[in-house]
A and B are shown apart, each in its own frame.
Chain A
Amino acid sequence: MKPLAALFLREWRLSTRVGGGALMGALFFLIVVTVIPFGVGPDLKLLARIGPAILWIGALLATLLSLDRLFQADRDDGALDLLMMGETPLELVVVVKCLAHWAATGLPLVIAAPFLAVFMNLDPPAIGATVATLLVGTPALTFLGAIGAALTVSLRRGGLLSAILILPLTTPVLIFGVSATTAAVTEPTPFLAPFLILVALVLFSLVVGAIAAAQALRLSAN
Protein backbone atom coordinates (compact mmCIF):
# COMPACT_ATOMS: atom_id res chain seq x y z
CA MET A 1 0.00 0.00 0.00
CA LYS A 2 2.89 2.36 0.70
CA PRO A 3 3.91 2.83 -2.95
CA LEU A 4 0.30 3.59 -3.87
CA ALA A 5 -0.14 6.06 -1.00
CA ALA A 6 3.10 7.78 -2.03
CA LEU A 7 1.91 7.97 -5.62
CA PHE A 8 -1.45 9.42 -4.59
CA LEU A 9 0.25 12.06 -2.44
CA ARG A 10 2.63 12.96 -5.26
CA GLU A 11 -0.16 13.29 -7.82
CA TRP A 12 -2.22 15.36 -5.41
CA ARG A 13 0.70 17.71 -4.73
CA LEU A 14 1.49 18.05 -8.42
CA SER A 15 -2.06 18.94 -9.37
CA THR A 16 -2.57 21.42 -6.56
CA ARG A 17 0.74 23.26 -7.00
CA VAL A 18 1.80 25.80 -9.62
CA GLY A 19 0.90 24.65 -13.10
CA GLY A 20 -1.04 21.65 -11.85
CA GLY A 21 -4.40 22.95 -13.03
CA ALA A 22 -6.50 21.30 -10.31
CA LEU A 23 -9.25 23.91 -10.40
CA MET A 24 -9.21 24.46 -14.17
CA GLY A 25 -11.76 21.70 -14.70
CA ALA A 26 -14.13 23.23 -12.17
CA LEU A 27 -13.69 26.68 -13.74
CA PHE A 28 -14.36 25.32 -17.22
CA PHE A 29 -17.47 23.59 -15.86
CA LEU A 30 -18.61 26.87 -14.30
CA ILE A 31 -18.20 28.79 -17.56
CA VAL A 32 -19.95 26.16 -19.70
CA VAL A 33 -22.94 25.90 -17.38
CA THR A 34 -23.18 29.67 -16.97
CA VAL A 35 -23.22 30.25 -20.71
CA ILE A 36 -26.12 27.85 -21.37
CA PRO A 37 -28.95 29.99 -19.87
CA PHE A 38 -27.84 32.87 -22.11
CA GLY A 39 -28.24 30.66 -25.13
CA VAL A 40 -31.47 28.97 -24.06
CA GLY A 41 -33.21 32.15 -22.93
CA PRO A 42 -35.17 32.98 -19.79
CA ASP A 43 -37.57 30.03 -19.96
CA LEU A 44 -37.36 28.77 -16.36
CA LYS A 45 -39.40 25.61 -17.00
CA LEU A 46 -37.20 24.60 -19.90
CA LEU A 47 -34.04 25.31 -17.90
CA ALA A 48 -35.27 23.16 -15.01
CA ARG A 49 -36.03 20.34 -17.40
CA ILE A 50 -32.67 20.37 -19.21
CA GLY A 51 -30.66 21.43 -16.12
CA PRO A 52 -29.44 17.98 -15.00
CA ALA A 53 -28.39 17.13 -18.56
CA ILE A 54 -26.48 20.42 -18.91
CA LEU A 55 -24.68 19.83 -15.62
CA TRP A 56 -23.77 16.33 -16.67
CA ILE A 57 -22.53 17.38 -20.12
CA GLY A 58 -20.53 20.19 -18.53
CA ALA A 59 -18.95 17.73 -16.11
CA LEU A 60 -18.24 15.32 -18.96
CA LEU A 61 -16.42 17.93 -21.05
CA ALA A 62 -14.56 19.39 -18.07
CA THR A 63 -13.32 15.94 -17.05
CA LEU A 64 -12.22 14.81 -20.49
CA LEU A 65 -10.46 18.05 -21.37
CA SER A 66 -8.54 18.11 -18.09
CA LEU A 67 -7.18 14.61 -18.61
CA ASP A 68 -4.75 15.19 -21.48
CA ARG A 69 -1.72 15.62 -19.22
CA LEU A 70 -2.56 12.64 -16.99
CA PHE A 71 0.29 10.51 -18.39
CA GLN A 72 1.94 12.92 -20.80
CA ALA A 73 3.70 14.96 -18.12
CA ASP A 74 5.27 11.78 -16.75
CA ARG A 75 6.27 10.65 -20.21
CA ASP A 76 7.87 13.99 -21.08
CA ASP A 77 10.21 13.99 -18.10
CA GLY A 78 10.97 10.27 -18.12
CA ALA A 79 9.08 9.48 -14.91
CA LEU A 80 6.73 7.14 -16.78
CA ASP A 81 9.64 4.79 -17.59
CA LEU A 82 10.55 4.72 -13.92
CA LEU A 83 6.95 4.12 -12.84
CA MET A 84 6.77 1.18 -15.23
CA MET A 85 9.90 -0.32 -13.69
CA GLY A 86 8.36 -0.37 -10.22
CA GLU A 87 7.14 -3.55 -8.58
CA THR A 88 3.63 -2.06 -8.47
CA PRO A 89 1.53 -3.28 -11.43
CA LEU A 90 0.98 -0.53 -13.98
CA GLU A 91 -2.79 -1.11 -13.75
CA LEU A 92 -2.76 -0.06 -10.10
CA VAL A 93 -0.59 2.94 -10.95
CA VAL A 94 -3.24 3.98 -13.48
CA VAL A 95 -6.06 3.56 -10.94
CA VAL A 96 -4.26 5.61 -8.31
CA LYS A 97 -3.38 8.35 -10.80
CA CYS A 98 -7.05 8.47 -11.84
CA LEU A 99 -8.25 8.63 -8.24
CA ALA A 100 -5.84 11.44 -7.42
CA HIS A 101 -6.84 13.28 -10.58
CA TRP A 102 -10.50 12.86 -9.68
CA ALA A 103 -9.92 14.09 -6.12
CA ALA A 104 -8.16 17.20 -7.44
CA THR A 105 -10.36 18.03 -10.45
CA GLY A 106 -13.54 15.91 -10.29
CA LEU A 107 -14.43 16.51 -6.68
CA PRO A 108 -14.34 20.36 -6.90
CA LEU A 109 -16.69 19.99 -9.85
CA VAL A 110 -19.15 17.96 -7.75
CA ILE A 111 -18.89 20.54 -4.97
CA ALA A 112 -19.58 23.38 -7.43
CA ALA A 113 -22.58 21.58 -8.95
CA PRO A 114 -25.27 22.52 -6.36
CA PHE A 115 -24.45 26.22 -6.77
CA LEU A 116 -24.59 26.00 -10.54
CA ALA A 117 -27.83 24.00 -10.29
CA VAL A 118 -29.46 27.13 -8.91
CA PHE A 119 -28.60 28.86 -12.21
CA MET A 120 -30.55 26.14 -13.96
CA ASN A 121 -33.62 26.65 -11.77
CA LEU A 122 -33.46 23.15 -10.28
CA ASP A 123 -35.48 22.53 -7.12
CA PRO A 124 -33.78 20.98 -4.04
CA PRO A 125 -34.62 17.29 -4.74
CA ALA A 126 -33.28 17.63 -8.28
CA ILE A 127 -30.14 19.35 -6.96
CA GLY A 128 -29.61 16.54 -4.48
CA ALA A 129 -30.05 13.90 -7.16
CA THR A 130 -27.70 15.69 -9.57
CA VAL A 131 -24.97 15.98 -6.96
CA ALA A 132 -25.42 12.33 -5.95
CA THR A 133 -25.18 11.07 -9.53
CA LEU A 134 -22.21 13.32 -10.31
CA LEU A 135 -20.42 12.20 -7.16
CA VAL A 136 -20.85 8.56 -8.10
CA GLY A 137 -20.57 8.92 -11.87
CA THR A 138 -17.67 11.31 -12.51
CA PRO A 139 -14.99 8.75 -11.50
CA ALA A 140 -16.23 6.64 -14.42
CA LEU A 141 -15.49 9.55 -16.76
CA THR A 142 -11.96 9.80 -15.35
CA PHE A 143 -11.31 6.06 -15.73
CA LEU A 144 -12.59 6.03 -19.31
CA GLY A 145 -10.75 9.25 -20.10
CA ALA A 146 -7.53 7.61 -18.88
CA ILE A 147 -7.75 5.23 -21.84
CA GLY A 148 -7.75 8.19 -24.23
CA ALA A 149 -4.98 9.92 -22.30
CA ALA A 150 -2.86 6.77 -22.48
CA LEU A 151 -3.53 6.21 -26.20
CA THR A 152 -2.54 9.78 -27.08
CA VAL A 153 0.36 9.98 -24.61
CA SER A 154 2.98 10.26 -27.33
CA LEU A 155 1.10 12.84 -29.42
CA ARG A 156 1.52 16.57 -29.10
CA ARG A 157 -1.87 18.20 -28.63
CA GLY A 158 -3.54 14.87 -28.11
CA GLY A 159 -6.19 16.32 -25.79
CA LEU A 160 -8.87 16.83 -28.41
CA LEU A 161 -8.17 13.52 -30.13
CA SER A 162 -8.48 11.82 -26.76
CA ALA A 163 -11.87 13.50 -26.19
CA ILE A 164 -13.05 12.41 -29.65
CA LEU A 165 -12.02 8.83 -28.95
CA ILE A 166 -13.53 8.65 -25.50
CA LEU A 167 -16.75 10.67 -25.74
CA PRO A 168 -18.69 7.85 -27.45
CA LEU A 169 -17.64 5.45 -24.68
CA THR A 170 -19.04 7.76 -22.04
CA THR A 171 -22.60 7.84 -23.41
CA PRO A 172 -23.89 5.03 -21.12
CA VAL A 173 -22.60 6.93 -18.08
CA LEU A 174 -24.26 10.11 -19.33
CA ILE A 175 -27.55 8.36 -20.09
CA PHE A 176 -27.85 6.66 -16.71
CA GLY A 177 -26.54 9.67 -14.80
CA VAL A 178 -29.15 11.97 -16.29
CA SER A 179 -31.97 9.42 -16.21
CA ALA A 180 -31.35 8.71 -12.51
CA THR A 181 -31.52 12.43 -11.83
CA THR A 182 -34.73 12.81 -13.84
CA ALA A 183 -36.21 9.75 -12.15
CA ALA A 184 -35.61 11.31 -8.75
CA VAL A 185 -37.97 14.19 -9.51
CA THR A 186 -40.49 12.42 -11.77
CA GLU A 187 -43.00 10.61 -9.55
CA PRO A 188 -43.60 7.04 -10.75
CA THR A 189 -40.16 6.26 -12.19
CA PRO A 190 -37.77 4.62 -9.69
CA PHE A 191 -34.48 6.38 -8.89
CA LEU A 192 -32.61 3.34 -7.62
CA ALA A 193 -32.59 1.24 -10.81
CA PRO A 194 -30.75 3.71 -13.08
CA PHE A 195 -28.59 4.80 -10.13
CA LEU A 196 -27.41 1.25 -9.48
CA ILE A 197 -26.66 0.78 -13.16
CA LEU A 198 -24.58 3.96 -12.95
CA VAL A 199 -22.68 2.46 -10.00
CA ALA A 200 -22.12 -0.71 -12.02
CA LEU A 201 -20.80 1.36 -14.92
CA VAL A 202 -18.30 3.02 -12.60
CA LEU A 203 -16.95 -0.34 -11.41
CA PHE A 204 -16.87 -1.61 -14.98
CA SER A 205 -14.96 1.43 -16.24
CA LEU A 206 -12.51 1.16 -13.36
CA VAL A 207 -11.45 -2.31 -14.48
CA VAL A 208 -11.59 -1.67 -18.23
CA GLY A 209 -9.92 1.73 -17.93
CA ALA A 210 -7.08 0.44 -15.79
CA ILE A 211 -6.31 -2.54 -18.02
CA ALA A 212 -6.69 -0.69 -21.32
CA ALA A 213 -4.73 2.39 -20.25
CA ALA A 214 -1.90 0.30 -18.80
CA GLN A 215 -1.65 -1.70 -22.02
CA ALA A 216 -1.66 1.48 -24.12
CA LEU A 217 1.15 2.91 -21.99
CA ARG A 218 3.24 -0.24 -22.37
CA LEU A 219 2.91 -0.06 -26.13
CA SER A 220 3.72 3.65 -26.17
CA ALA A 221 7.07 3.08 -24.45
CA ASN A 222 8.38 1.55 -27.65
Chain B
Amino acid sequence: MRLAIESLSVERGGRLVIAGLTVAAKAGTALVVTGPNGAGKSTLIRTIAGLLPLAAGSIRLEGGDPELTVAEQCHYFGHQDGLKTALTVKENLAFWRDFYGRPALSVIEALEVVGLEHLSELPAAYLSAGQRRRLSFARLLISHRPIWLLDEPTSALDAGSEVRLIDCVNDHLVSGGLVIAATHAPLTFRARESLALGHVVAEASP
Protein backbone atom coordinates (compact mmCIF):
# COMPACT_ATOMS: atom_id res chain seq x y z
CA MET B 1 0.00 0.00 0.00
CA ARG B 2 1.31 3.43 -0.91
CA LEU B 3 -0.17 6.88 -0.50
CA ALA B 4 0.96 9.05 -3.38
CA ILE B 5 0.61 12.81 -3.16
CA GLU B 6 1.44 14.50 -6.44
CA SER B 7 2.06 18.21 -7.00
CA LEU B 8 -0.47 19.04 -4.30
CA SER B 9 -1.46 22.66 -3.75
CA VAL B 10 -3.82 23.82 -1.05
CA GLU B 11 -5.15 27.31 -0.63
CA ARG B 12 -6.41 28.80 2.61
CA GLY B 13 -7.90 32.26 2.76
CA GLY B 14 -6.51 33.10 -0.67
CA ARG B 15 -2.96 32.16 0.37
CA LEU B 16 -1.18 29.14 -1.05
CA VAL B 17 -0.21 27.20 2.07
CA ILE B 18 1.05 24.12 0.27
CA ALA B 19 2.45 24.58 -3.23
CA GLY B 20 3.38 21.72 -5.52
CA LEU B 21 4.12 19.13 -2.84
CA THR B 22 5.02 15.66 -4.08
CA VAL B 23 5.59 12.97 -1.50
CA ALA B 24 4.75 9.32 -0.99
CA ALA B 25 4.17 7.31 2.16
CA LYS B 26 4.62 3.55 2.21
CA ALA B 27 2.87 0.96 4.33
CA GLY B 28 4.85 0.11 7.43
CA THR B 29 6.53 3.49 7.55
CA ALA B 30 5.60 6.62 9.42
CA LEU B 31 5.89 9.83 7.48
CA VAL B 32 6.76 12.47 10.05
CA VAL B 33 5.86 15.98 8.94
CA THR B 34 7.80 18.74 10.64
CA GLY B 35 7.98 22.47 10.21
CA PRO B 36 7.46 25.74 12.05
CA ASN B 37 3.98 27.02 13.00
CA GLY B 38 2.01 27.91 9.92
CA ALA B 39 4.11 25.76 7.61
CA GLY B 40 1.04 23.77 6.57
CA LYS B 41 1.37 20.61 8.64
CA SER B 42 -2.24 20.57 9.82
CA THR B 43 -3.39 21.72 6.41
CA LEU B 44 -1.67 18.75 4.79
CA ILE B 45 -3.19 16.34 7.29
CA ARG B 46 -6.68 17.82 6.90
CA THR B 47 -6.39 17.76 3.11
CA ILE B 48 -5.54 14.06 3.11
CA ALA B 49 -8.50 13.54 5.45
CA GLY B 50 -10.72 15.08 2.76
CA LEU B 51 -11.67 18.04 4.92
CA LEU B 52 -10.03 20.69 2.75
CA PRO B 53 -10.38 21.04 -1.02
CA LEU B 54 -7.37 20.56 -3.28
CA ALA B 55 -6.38 23.60 -5.33
CA ALA B 56 -4.30 21.38 -7.61
CA GLY B 57 -2.69 17.97 -7.70
CA SER B 58 -3.91 14.60 -6.52
CA ILE B 59 -3.91 12.26 -3.55
CA ARG B 60 -4.15 8.57 -4.39
CA LEU B 61 -3.96 5.41 -2.35
CA GLU B 62 -2.38 2.57 -4.31
CA GLY B 63 -3.37 -0.85 -3.05
CA GLY B 64 -6.28 0.39 -0.99
CA ASP B 65 -9.98 -0.45 -1.27
CA PRO B 66 -11.09 0.85 -4.69
CA GLU B 67 -14.67 1.21 -3.43
CA LEU B 68 -13.68 3.82 -0.87
CA THR B 69 -12.23 7.31 -1.06
CA VAL B 70 -8.87 8.01 0.55
CA ALA B 71 -10.60 9.89 3.38
CA GLU B 72 -12.82 6.89 4.11
CA GLN B 73 -9.69 4.81 4.73
CA CYS B 74 -8.16 7.34 7.12
CA HIS B 75 -8.40 7.78 10.84
CA TYR B 76 -7.96 11.44 11.77
CA PHE B 77 -6.56 12.25 15.20
CA GLY B 78 -6.53 16.04 15.22
CA HIS B 79 -6.41 18.83 17.74
CA GLN B 80 -10.06 18.41 18.66
CA ASP B 81 -11.16 15.30 20.47
CA GLY B 82 -14.66 14.92 19.01
CA LEU B 83 -15.97 13.75 22.36
CA LYS B 84 -19.45 14.37 23.76
CA THR B 85 -19.21 15.38 27.39
CA ALA B 86 -22.77 14.23 28.15
CA LEU B 87 -22.05 10.67 27.05
CA THR B 88 -20.05 8.16 29.07
CA VAL B 89 -16.56 7.11 28.02
CA LYS B 90 -17.95 3.81 26.77
CA GLU B 91 -20.84 5.40 24.84
CA ASN B 92 -18.49 7.83 23.13
CA LEU B 93 -16.32 5.03 21.85
CA ALA B 94 -19.17 2.63 21.05
CA PHE B 95 -20.76 5.22 18.79
CA TRP B 96 -17.66 5.58 16.61
CA ARG B 97 -17.25 1.82 16.50
CA ASP B 98 -20.77 1.40 15.11
CA PHE B 99 -20.60 4.46 12.89
CA TYR B 100 -17.26 3.64 11.25
CA GLY B 101 -17.90 -0.11 11.00
CA ARG B 102 -15.06 -2.53 10.15
CA PRO B 103 -14.64 -3.40 13.84
CA ALA B 104 -11.17 -4.07 15.21
CA LEU B 105 -10.75 -4.06 19.02
CA SER B 106 -13.84 -4.11 21.22
CA VAL B 107 -14.65 -0.99 23.22
CA ILE B 108 -13.34 -2.48 26.46
CA GLU B 109 -10.16 -3.78 24.84
CA ALA B 110 -9.46 -0.36 23.35
CA LEU B 111 -10.06 1.32 26.71
CA GLU B 112 -7.61 -1.13 28.29
CA VAL B 113 -4.98 -0.23 25.73
CA VAL B 114 -5.26 3.49 26.55
CA GLY B 115 -5.67 2.78 30.27
CA LEU B 116 -9.17 4.14 30.74
CA GLU B 117 -11.12 0.91 31.39
CA HIS B 118 -11.80 1.86 35.03
CA LEU B 119 -13.54 5.06 33.87
CA SER B 120 -15.75 3.48 31.22
CA GLU B 121 -19.04 4.41 32.92
CA LEU B 122 -18.00 8.00 33.70
CA PRO B 123 -19.36 10.88 31.60
CA ALA B 124 -16.56 12.24 29.42
CA ALA B 125 -17.06 15.67 31.01
CA TYR B 126 -15.09 14.51 34.06
CA LEU B 127 -11.98 13.46 32.14
CA SER B 128 -8.77 15.45 32.26
CA ALA B 129 -7.24 16.87 29.08
CA GLY B 130 -4.83 13.98 28.76
CA GLN B 131 -7.53 11.39 29.41
CA ARG B 132 -9.72 12.95 26.74
CA ARG B 133 -6.83 12.74 24.35
CA ARG B 134 -6.36 9.05 25.15
CA LEU B 135 -10.07 8.35 24.75
CA SER B 136 -9.99 10.11 21.42
CA PHE B 137 -6.99 8.03 20.40
CA ALA B 138 -8.86 4.84 21.33
CA ARG B 139 -11.13 5.63 18.38
CA LEU B 140 -8.29 4.62 16.05
CA LEU B 141 -8.15 1.17 17.61
CA ILE B 142 -11.82 0.17 17.43
CA SER B 143 -12.35 0.21 13.70
CA HIS B 144 -9.91 -0.83 11.06
CA ARG B 145 -8.67 1.88 8.72
CA PRO B 146 -5.23 1.54 7.12
CA ILE B 147 -4.13 5.19 7.25
CA TRP B 148 -3.66 7.04 10.52
CA LEU B 149 -3.39 10.81 10.29
CA LEU B 150 -1.98 12.16 13.54
CA ASP B 151 -1.78 15.89 14.21
CA GLU B 152 0.39 16.62 17.26
CA PRO B 153 -0.57 13.21 18.70
CA THR B 154 1.36 13.55 21.94
CA SER B 155 0.13 16.96 23.06
CA ALA B 156 -1.29 16.93 26.60
CA LEU B 157 -0.05 13.37 27.18
CA ASP B 158 2.22 12.37 30.07
CA ALA B 159 5.40 10.37 29.44
CA GLY B 160 3.76 6.99 30.11
CA SER B 161 0.83 7.65 27.81
CA GLU B 162 3.19 8.89 25.14
CA VAL B 163 5.09 5.62 25.21
CA ARG B 164 1.82 3.70 25.00
CA LEU B 165 0.66 5.78 22.04
CA ILE B 166 3.94 5.23 20.22
CA ASP B 167 3.62 1.49 20.90
CA CYS B 168 0.14 1.52 19.32
CA VAL B 169 1.45 3.38 16.30
CA ASN B 170 4.34 0.93 15.95
CA ASP B 171 1.93 -2.02 16.18
CA HIS B 172 -0.13 -0.41 13.43
CA LEU B 173 2.99 -0.01 11.30
CA VAL B 174 4.00 -3.62 11.87
CA SER B 175 0.56 -4.81 10.76
CA GLY B 176 1.05 -3.02 7.44
CA GLY B 177 -0.58 0.29 8.29
CA LEU B 178 0.44 3.70 7.13
CA VAL B 179 0.98 6.66 9.43
CA ILE B 180 1.35 10.35 8.69
CA ALA B 181 2.14 12.40 11.76
CA ALA B 182 2.63 16.13 12.12
CA THR B 183 4.69 16.89 15.16
CA HIS B 184 7.21 19.06 16.94
CA ALA B 185 8.20 16.39 19.43
CA PRO B 186 10.81 13.78 18.46
CA LEU B 187 8.70 10.60 18.22
CA THR B 188 10.40 7.24 18.16
CA PHE B 189 8.45 5.39 15.49
CA ARG B 190 10.10 2.19 14.35
CA ALA B 191 10.39 3.21 10.72
CA ARG B 192 10.17 6.84 9.82
CA GLU B 193 10.68 9.13 6.92
CA SER B 194 10.74 12.86 7.34
CA LEU B 195 9.04 15.58 5.41
CA ALA B 196 10.02 19.13 6.30
CA LEU B 197 7.52 21.78 5.32
CA GLY B 198 8.09 25.51 5.05
CA HIS B 199 11.32 27.35 5.67
CA VAL B 200 12.70 25.01 8.26
CA VAL B 201 16.31 25.15 7.12
CA ALA B 202 17.88 26.42 10.30
CA GLU B 203 20.44 29.16 9.98
CA ALA B 204 23.66 27.28 10.31
CA SER B 205 25.63 28.70 13.16
CA PRO B 206 29.26 29.18 12.30
Contact = CB atoms under 8 A, between A and B. Distances in A.
The judgment on whether A and B are partners is yes
Contacts of B99: 3, 6-7, 83, 86, 88
A87 B143 CA distance: 12
Interface stretch (A73-81, A127-135, A159-167, A208-216): A73-81
Interface in B28-79: 46, 49-53, 68, 71-72, 74, 76, 78-79
Contact of B86 (A17, A79, A82): A17
Contacts of B86: 13-14, 17-20
A158 to B, nearest CB: 19
A3 B80 CA distance: 22
A84 interface: yes
Contact of A82 (B52, B94, B96): B96
Contact of B49 (A6, A13, A81, A88): A81
Contacts of A82: 76, 82, 96, 139
B51 A221 contact: yes
Nearest to B136: A78
Contact of A77 (B53, B80, B98, B139): B80
Contacts of A84: 50-51, 71
A156 interface: no
B101 A81 contact: no
| Max chain B C-beta neighbours (<10 A), residue from A20, A82, A83, A86 | A82
A72 to B, nearest CB: 13
Contact of A81 (B80, B94, B100): B80
Interface in B113-130: none
B68 A87 contact: yes
Interface of A: 2-3, 5-7, 9-10, 13-14, 17-20, 77-79, 81-88, 221-222
Interface of B: 12, 46, 49-53, 68, 71-72, 74, 76, 78-84, 86-87, 91, 94-96, 98-101, 139
Q: Nearest 9 CB-CB pairs, A to B?
A: A78-B80, A6-B98, A79-B82, A78-B82, A17-B86, A3-B99, A10-B95, A82-B82, A221-B51
Given A3-B98, A78-B79, A82-B139, 14 more contacts: A5-B98, A6-B95, A6-B98, A7-B95, A10-B84, A14-B86, A18-B86, A20-B86, A78-B80, A79-B82, A81-B49, A82-B96, A85-B76, A87-B72
